[in-house]
Structure 1
Amino acid sequence: MGAMVLEIFGLSLSIIGWVGVILACALPMWQVTAFIDNQIVTAQFHWEGLWMTCVIQSTGQMQCKVYDSILGLRPEVQAARALTVLAAILGIIALLVTVLGAQCTVCFQGTNVKSRMLLAGGVMYIVDGLLVLIPLCWTANIVIRDFFNPHVPNSNKREMGAALYVGWAATALLLLGGVLICLSSRGQRAMPVKYSASRRPTSNGDYDKKNYV
């Protein structure tokens, strides 16, 4: 029973984390305009994401433009695109593998394959979280480095946007959920099968002990 609780809780956290990865990938707020020198009134500020850049006017009007060229993007943006998309795809595969190995499904019931599939699903979620963590930390490092670089003009300095924080929260959920799923697979492997499907009585009226597992 405890293994099933860990399994359900871990899978729920992992699914929420996977949704957070997709949200962080789509949001155009990886880098936002930094307000420096006590600028109270600003005509416009910028959002920069993985797929588009947006300009928000002081009147509230927002204009977004999708990047024209992939090869013309900065290396960190290209890597973030590839890793976040790969993480989203891996999350789908991990969900399918985990569901097949879950106790609530009848696939591979009573075999060691079920616990191994559950363990594989947990490991996939952990790898998924690490894949997302790489571009998040890379982008945050560049933002912080440029912010404190005196050779970078104030107009070109950026701050960490909301998408980075969403991504970090999603990473934490994926790592925690993956660990809980791996722990639940150990508990599932330790659960013995009480008896076999068929129990035939012997000639003296007792059940054959060989039918018990």
Structure 2
Amino acid sequence: MASMAVQLLGFFLGLLGLVGTVVATVLPHWRSTAYVGSNIITATAYMKGLWMECVWHSTGIYQCQVYISLLALPQDLQAARALMVLSCITSVLASLVSVMGMKCTRFARHSVIKSPLVLSGGVCFICAGLLCLITVSWTTNDVILDFYDPFIPSGMKYEIGLAVYLGFASAFLSLSGGMVLCWSSSPDRSQRPPRMQRSLPLSAPPPFNPIYPPAPPYKPPEALRDNRAPSFCSASSSGYRLHDYV
């Protein structure tokens, strides 16, 4: 029961990580306008994401434009796209495998493949969390370097957006869920079959088998001392003296 609860906890953590990763991938709030220097006009805010650029006006109007050309995008943005999509696909695969391997499901019940399936799902969740963590860390590093670059004008500097923070949270949720699932996949010692013990005989064996007669009693060597055959070298043989023939 405890192992089943641990598996459910790990699965829901990984599922939350999957939802957060998908939302962070779709949202355009990866980079937001930095209001520094002469750029103090707050009536308009610019945001950049993996798939589109958006403009927010103080009147509450959003205007977004999807990136049309894929080859015209920077290489870091293309890599971020690929890593986040791969993270989402890996999380979906981890969810399916984990559902099949959990003890609360009927798939392959009482089978030895349950534990390897849960372990595979946990490993996939860990891989998905690492992919998402690498992407958001890379984006954070680029934003910080551009912000402190003196050669970039103030109007072209951006800050870290909300989608990046959501990506960090989703990555840690996926990593936590994967590690919990991997830990819960270890075999339970309390469910191992007991060791075979040698059964003791219920009653003592019979002293002898009544089919065969018992062995004759043992006689000591003293009883056979005078029971010897006469030899030719002895002084007498069969009652005759040796000097009777000389």
The 3 A distance-change label for structure 1 pair 72 and 190 is farther
Aligned equivalent of 1:110:
110
Task: Report if the CA contact (8 A) 1:115-1:188 is conserved.
Answer: no
What SS does the corresponding residue of 1:112 show, helix, strand or coil?
A: coil
Q: Which amino acid aligns with 2:64?
A: C
Q: CA deviation at 1:76?
A: 1.6
Give TM-score scaled by structure 2 length: 0.75
> What does 1:185-204 correspond to in 2, within 5 Å?
185-188=185-188, 191-192=191-192
Which one scores higher on RCO, CA 8 angstroms, separation ≥ 6? Answer: 1
> What does 1:1-213 correspond to in 2, within 5 Å?
1-37=1-37, 40-188=40-188, 191-192=191-192
Task: Report if the CA contact (8 A) 2:124-2:178 is conserved.
Answer: yes
Task: Report if the CA contact (8 A) 1:112-1:189 is conserved.
Answer: no
Aligned equivalent of 1:207:
none
Task: Report if the CA contact (8 A) 2:29-2:47 is conserved.
Answer: yes
Q: CA deviation at 1:110?
A: 2.6
Task: Report if the CA contact (8 A) 1:26-1:50 is conserved.
Answer: yes
Task: Report if the CA contact (8 A) 1:46-1:53 is conserved.
Answer: yes
Q: Distance in 1 between matches of 2:189 and 2:84?
A: 33
Alignment RMSD (CA, Å): 1.7
Q: CA deviation at 1:38?
A: 7.3
Q: Which amino acid aligns with 1:151?
A: F
Larger radius of gyration: 2
Give the gaps of 5 or more residues in structure 2: 195-246
Aligned residue pairs, count = 194
Q: CA deviation at 1:68?
A: 1.1
What SS does the corresponding residue of 2:186 show, helix, strand or coil?
A: helix
Comparing 144-153 with 42-51, greater Cα deviation is found at 42-51
Q: CA deviation at 1:109?
A: 2.5
Q: CA deviation at 1:43?
A: 3.7
The 3 A distance-change label for structure 1 pair 27 and 189 is farther
Q: CA deviation at 1:189?
A: 7.7
Q: CA deviation at 1:188?
A: 4.9
Q: CA deviation at 1:112?
A: 2.4
Q: Which amino acid aligns with 2:134?
A: I
The 3 A distance-change label for structure 1 pair 96 and 140 is same
Q: Which amino acid aligns with 1:45?
A: A
Which has the larger share of helix? 1
What SS does the corresponding residue of 2:64 show, helix, strand or coil?
A: strand
Q: Which amino acid aligns with 2:127?
A: V
Percent identical pairs in the alignment equals 43
Task: Report if the CA contact (8 A) 1:101-1:116 is conserved.
Answer: yes
Q: CA deviation at 1:87?
A: 1.2
Q: Which amino acid aligns with 2:164?
A: L
Q: CA deviation at 1:193?
A: 6.5
Q: Distance in 2 between matches of 1:190 and 1:168?
A: 38
Q: CA deviation at 1:59?
A: 2.7
Deviations 1:142-201 (A, max 9, x none): 00000001011101100000000011000010000100011111145863379xxxxxxx
Give the gaps of 5 or more residues in structure 1: 195-213
